[in-house]
Structure 1
């Protein structure tokens, strides 16, 4: 990660000092400077790299009907233009015109499992950085952005509002969300909350480590039927492999249970295999739901990962014809 990114997230973690009553939350004074620097970092890194007619993480196809063209492998079959196909006997799809305004909703999982990190930052810091990046990329042109934040026992809704000032306020509201209740967020209920009330077609972003029990796949598929959906998976390298340190004490942040593990070669091999299978299952579930999948790690440059993902998405959508 760049030094600027490390410094911003490092200060964010230090200034979000936890009170004795529960998990961390941001104070007002120095944390405002930290959040401002994080926003400035995102703006400097992303501006100029991702310019186009319609800037966004997932440039949506829009809802207004446009012209038809011949079907190409990879096109969404739900956009088949059956009357033209019947007349020409050649499969055609109906193109759509990009909406003038986009409404983006974030589902941000800030359960206790994200208060963990052994590399450059905590996973919760990385989730907040993802909120900053998404808001920056989608707030232009009068677009609205809102969020639902899950903190374990509670869910907090931040109404969608247009403009950069509202986006900055949303970032601060997410950062200051009271997380003292702790526990595990019901990820299925958090995603389902994005479907209520029903909204016109827009964009939905789910930010989580997706370590919740199975059950979130179905509401995610329902969400993807109407909206462009992006799943941002945050993880730490220690969730993929154990270090060779002898006896290791592990604490479940959601339940408080403590386990001592002897990190023998056999145990580390079994752990790595189980972790790889778990991540493969998460990737398969997201792929089956038909959503975009962005993986951010606490030991890598998250801004560069976002830039690469957006560039790949734009290239795939336009088959390399964009500027």
Structure 2
């Protein structure tokens, strides 16, 4: 490793540490106390321990009907269940080159780290364990990842490197902080992570029921990752966190832009002053996001979209509050 490489690695590590410290402070201030009260997970599922029965309400899952109590009282009842006391959470964090992009308050990779920090803060308590698998690109295509607005030529390809990193699940806040620090220091390499393979790593080896969180921009072809998400949802409560930048949804009128795909190195000149082109781009982006949402919904995954130009902490708070409200009404989605 050259002196320039060492200097860049040290600069990246210092930046990652600063970003993580700021995120942890924000998360602790805003999310502390959000889950006070009865023990529940981030995604309150049906659990495995039998609890009390209560009268049936519209919207309750009929599979949880308590037939003996219903027969005795002649009124429909459902059996409430208690969440497991020790919850195991695994995160699949996609750090492909497309995540090293942002045109608003932060890069998408920083928003992905923010989401991972919030998930760790909300789940690591009472002996819960949290682990992660991280995808860092294929490491074999030719362009340096960076902001979309930079005008740049393709760089020589990097040698093939390990594209996924597994971080074992361990209990405790100190271990969770170490895991987040390792994710923050993970270097994004050129290329596209096989999102389907990354998600499938959460199924191997088989684990007891828990929470699986997938953090990605989901820009990979839907057919490549939809089946692994469905398979994951058979055993676990799945939360899909979609990271989005506003420029991925619509183009501004700023004249001619030279755009580079950070995953393939392809360069394109785009005339953004053309209203028809901007309309086609917005329609294609809307169709793409709709297809992603439909695939996640069909897989039974809870879907949280975070944007680089919005208050991501407020979005997480609203999501968790909605999940708790759904739990009190007897539903889990």
Q: Cα gap change, 1:260/1:34 in structure 2, threshold over 3 Å: closer, same or farther? A: closer
Q: Cα gap change, 1:314/1:24 in structure 2, threshold over 3 Å: closer, same or farther? A: farther
Q: CA deviation at 1:223?
A: 1.0
Once the two structures are superposed, residues 203-252 of structure 1 have per-residue CA deviations (whole angstroms, 9 ceiling, x without a partner) of 01000001101221111111112111111000000000011112121111
Larger radius of gyration: 2
Deviates more, 1:37-46 or 1:81-90: 81-90
Once the two structures are superposed, residues 152-203 of structure 1 have per-residue CA deviations (whole angstroms, 9 ceiling, x without a partner) of 22111000000000110010111112433x2111111111111111111110
Say how many residue pairs are matched: 300
Q: CA deviation at 1:61?
A: 2.9
Whole-Å separation in 2 of the counterparts to 1:274 and 1:30: 35
Whole-Å separation in 1 of the counterparts to 2:236 and 2:321: 20
2:244 to 218, 221, 235: 235
Deviates more, 1:35-44 or 1:265-274: 35-44
2:298 to 288, 292, 306: 288
Q: CA deviation at 1:260?
A: 1.0
Deviates more, 1:213-222 or 1:142-151: 213-222
TM-align CA RMSD: 2.5
* SS of alignment partner, residue 126 of structure 2: helix
Gaps of 5+ in 2: 139-162
* SS of alignment partner, residue 309 of structure 2: coil
Q: Cα gap change, 1:86/1:273 in structure 2, threshold over 3 Å: closer, same or farther? A: farther
Q: Does 1:184 align with 2:166?
A: no
Whole-Å separation in 1 of the counterparts to 2:94 and 2:238: 15
Q: CA deviation at 1:26?
A: 6.5
Instruction: Please name the residue that 1:307 is paired with.
Output: 317
Q: CA deviation at 1:37?
A: 2.8
Q: Normalising by the residue count of structure 2, what TM-score does the alignment of the two structures yield?
A: 0.83
Q: Normalising by the residue count of structure 1, what TM-score does the alignment of the two structures yield?
A: 0.85
* SS of alignment partner, residue 140 of structure 1: coil
Instruction: Please name the residue that 1:217 is paired with.
Output: 226
Deviates more, 1:257-266 or 1:27-36: 27-36
Instruction: Please name the residue that 2:169 is paired with.
Output: 160
Q: Cα gap change, 1:90/1:218 in structure 2, threshold over 3 Å: closer, same or farther? A: farther
Instruction: Please name the residue that 2:152 is paired with.
Output: none
Once the two structures are superposed, residues 120-153 of structure 1 have per-residue CA deviations (whole angstroms, 9 ceiling, x without a partner) of 1110010000010000000011100000001122
Instruction: Please name the residue that 1:245 is paired with.
Output: 254
1:106 to 87, 91, 100: 91
Whole-Å separation in 1 of the counterparts to 2:67 and 2:306: 40
Instruction: Please name the residue that 1:11 is paired with.
Output: none
Gaps of 5+ in 1: 1-18
Q: Does 1:255 align with 2:264?
A: yes
Once the two structures are superposed, residues 302-322 of structure 1 have per-residue CA deviations (whole angstroms, 9 ceiling, x without a partner) of 1111111111111111139xx
